[in-house]
Amino acid sequence: MFDRNKDKTSERTEAPASPAAPAETSSTGASYRSAPAASPSSASGKAAVLGATIKVKGDISGDENLLIEGQVDGSVMLANHELTIGKTGRLNADLTAKTIRIDGEVNGDITGKDKVVVSSTSHIKGNIVTPKMTLEEGARFKGTIDIDPSHANSNTSAASLKSSSTSDKPA
């Protein structure tokens, strides 16, 4: 009588509470798990993610939102989408996107077609061109800010404004 209840109890404790995410295997035989992506706020709620251990040298462009937690040396161009630089993101790059949020470190010029948000955890060295700007208390910023809708919405970028303002003038 007691043995029968004991068997049912052990069966209940051995069953997993919820199934784990299945491991996938790449062509090299290494297994990995898909992780849910943290994303900037957007209409679709999804963004591509460059993880904290990813390093990219070159230009990044695309037609979707992007969250960068890793390192980028080059440029990032997402003309009609959102770009978020996470707290672990380290970029030596010029950035162009519809909306840009910076929580990490950027050394380069930033052009936001609609808006740029510089959070309290960010470190920026470069010029910003955008029609709308939020600079949170505690942010570290060195450069210029041009809040001019005509510059951000045209093809004029922060990099071209910088070069025109520092061009050689005959004496």
Neighbouring residues of 132: CB distance < 8 A, sequence distance ≥ 6: 112, 114, 115, 116, 147
Residue 92 lies in a domain: yes
In a domain, 71, yes or no: yes
Look up the domain containing 150 and give its range: 40-155
Taking the model in full, what pTM does it have?
A: 0.65
Residues 93 and 71 sit within 8 Å (Cβ to Cβ): no
Q: Is residue 86 part of a domain?
A: yes
- Does some domain include residue 100? yes
Counted domains in the chain: 1
- Compare 46 and 161 and report the one with higher pLDDT: 46
Over the chain, what is the mean pLDDT? 77
- Tell me the residue type at 77: M
Residue 8 lies in a domain: no
Domain presence at residue 21 = no
- Is 26 contained in some domain? no
Q: What 3-state class would DSSP assign to 153?
A: helix
Q: Which two tokens stand for residue 39?
A: 């994303």
Residue 118, pLDDT score: 98
Give the 3-state secondary structure percentages of the chain, helix then strand then coil, rounded to 5.
Answer: 15, 40, 45
Task: Tell whether 11 is covered by a domain.
Answer: no
pLDDT in tens, 25-61: 444 444 333 333 343 444 456 889 999 999 999 999 9
